[in-house]
Amino acid sequence: MIKVGILTYHFSDNYGALMQAYALRKWLLDRGVSANFINYHPTYVEEGGRFDRPWNLTLWRKNATILYMKLAKLQRRILGNNSMLAGFETFRRDYLGIQGAALRSVEELRSVAAKHNILVCGSDQIWNPSIHYGLDPVYFLDIPGTKAVHKIAYAPSFGRSEIEPKYYAELNKLISGLDAVSVREASGIEILESAGIAQGLARVMPDPTILLGHFDELIGKVSDDDGSVFAYALRTDQVIRSAAMQAAHIVGGQLYAPRNTHQRWRDIGEGVVPGPVEWLVMLARSRLVVSNSFHGVALSVVLNKPFIAVSLPGKRAALNARVQNLLKVAGLQDRVITTVDPERIRQLIEAPIDWEATNARVAAVRAEAETYLDAEIAAVLKGRR
């Protein structure tokens, strides 16, 4: 049997990150291949990693970021919600099949990665260079000892519409080591071309939640509408707080807001701490979803749930490209708001979504994605005969 190893942010205590990870593995399993996550969890992603020559004042921004992340991690460990964290761990064990200790370095990773026929770096913002670390070669499958392994990029995201030119040369080199290249957003193609990567080398592929297209194994067929508004906020409560409260007033239902591990604002409506499956069920049963999160919007589209997408304001606005690209594919660009206009919110709530047309558009990109992945799997099977 073909063995596929997936590298993504499967370890993140984030509902959307876990859903996209689940969806990619589930799709591969349904295709009859053996798929598992390589348990790479570098400390720099959520814990900051090591300080870099703190005596060098020119590196103050980098080291300040590392310090902030270390303090935030400590705060979550001391003050975080234990039931929420336990729910994430349970989901990783039961639905992602995560086993064994985390792999922290390339040296620990190489022998594990080499045991697979295919490696997939899959979706989420794994190509988004961080202030304190930059690009991680592992998430481009640049791993020593894996030269003979087939390497596929499936819909990774840069998380923004552009990256600093200082990364272009490294990005070009890393991309050259992949056998198949795709990105999640059209803006990702523009970034690659700006880095000097040949036009047409990469393709746009949908997020794994769109690729899978259903979550029946997790939630079954949810038909009940409990009349609630489900507000899923990440990074900030600006704009989305007022928008969700206004929407709940119009709908006349309870306003629920799942907390997240990085939340620095008071609850929007009634704060809840569901596990990942319960989170998805709450979204599916609501009357309306209001979200500034890519996966909050993506899962609303997949589950045909009426939604309002709220743009991130200010310095975070560059992150809006992810949702904008998704909604352009779905033909639902008009579901985005940037400011709180009660009349506009009422119009969006009352305007029916043509789900038949949307589903047809989404099915077309799903079919393209399936062809892309099937071809890469077939190429490996052919090579083994």
| Tens of pLDDT, residues 168-185 | 999 999 999 999 999 999
CATH number of the domain where residue 160 is located: 3.40.50
175, two tokens: 């991309």
Token digits of residue 327? 């909604």
Domain that holds residue 293: 216-353
The per-residue pLDDT for 278 is: 96
Q: What are phi and psi of 331, to 5 degrees?
A: 75, 30
Same domain? For 249 and 209 the reply is no
Local confidence band at 301 (pLDDT 50, 70, 90 cut-offs): very high
Residue 146 lies in a domain: yes
Instruction: Indicate if 127 and 22 belong to the same structural domain.
Output: yes
Q: What are the tens digits of pLDDT across the range 83-131?
A: 888 999 999 999 999 988 899 888 889 999 999 999 999 889 999 998 8
**Could you tell me if 304 and 318 lie in one domain?**
yes
Q: Do 177 and 67 lie in a common domain? A: yes
**Local confidence band at 9 (pLDDT 50, 70, 90 cut-offs):** very high
Task: Give me the percent of the chain exceeding a pLDDT of 70.
Answer: 98
> Contact at 8 Å (CB) between 87 and 261?
no
Q: Examine the domain organization and report whether 209 and 220 are in the same domain.
A: no
pLDDT in tens, 203-241: 999 999 999 999 999 998 777 789 999 999 999 999 999
CATH code for the domain of 294: 3.40.50.2000
What local confidence, expressed as pLDDT, does residue 94 receive?
96
Cα 42 from Cα 118, distance rounded (Å): 21
Q: What is the pLDDT of residues 257-281, one digit of tens each?
A: 999 888 889 999 999 999 999 999 9
CB atoms within 10 A of CB 107: 9
Instruction: Give the model's confidence band at 384: pLDDT under 50 very low, under 70 low, under 90 confident, else very high.
Output: low
- DSSP secondary-structure letter at 9? S
Same domain, 56 and 187: yes
72 plus 179 within the same structural domain: yes
SS3 36: strand
Are 333 and 368 in a shared domain? no
In a shared domain, residues 285 and 379:
no
The residues near 34 (Cβ < 8 Å, ≥ 6 apart) are: 1, 2, 3, 4
Per-residue pLDDT, averaged over 25-39, amounts to 97
For residue 309, being part of any structural domain is answered with: yes
Query: Hey, is 134 helix, strand or coil?
Result: strand
Give yes or no: residues 149 and 126 share one domain: yes
Nearest to 94 by CA among 22, 42, 33: 22
Domain contains 358: no
Distance (Å, rounded) from C-alpha 31 to C-alpha 33?
A: 6
Sign of CA dihedral 334, 338, 343, 349: positive
Overall domain count for the chain: 2
173 and 62 share one domain: yes
Residue 188 within any structural domain of the chain: yes
The answer to whether residue 88 sits within a structural domain is: yes
Q: Is 378 part of any domain?
A: yes
pLDDT at residue 184, rounded to an integer: 95
Q: Are residues 130 and 101 in the same domain?
A: yes
pLDDT at 235: 92
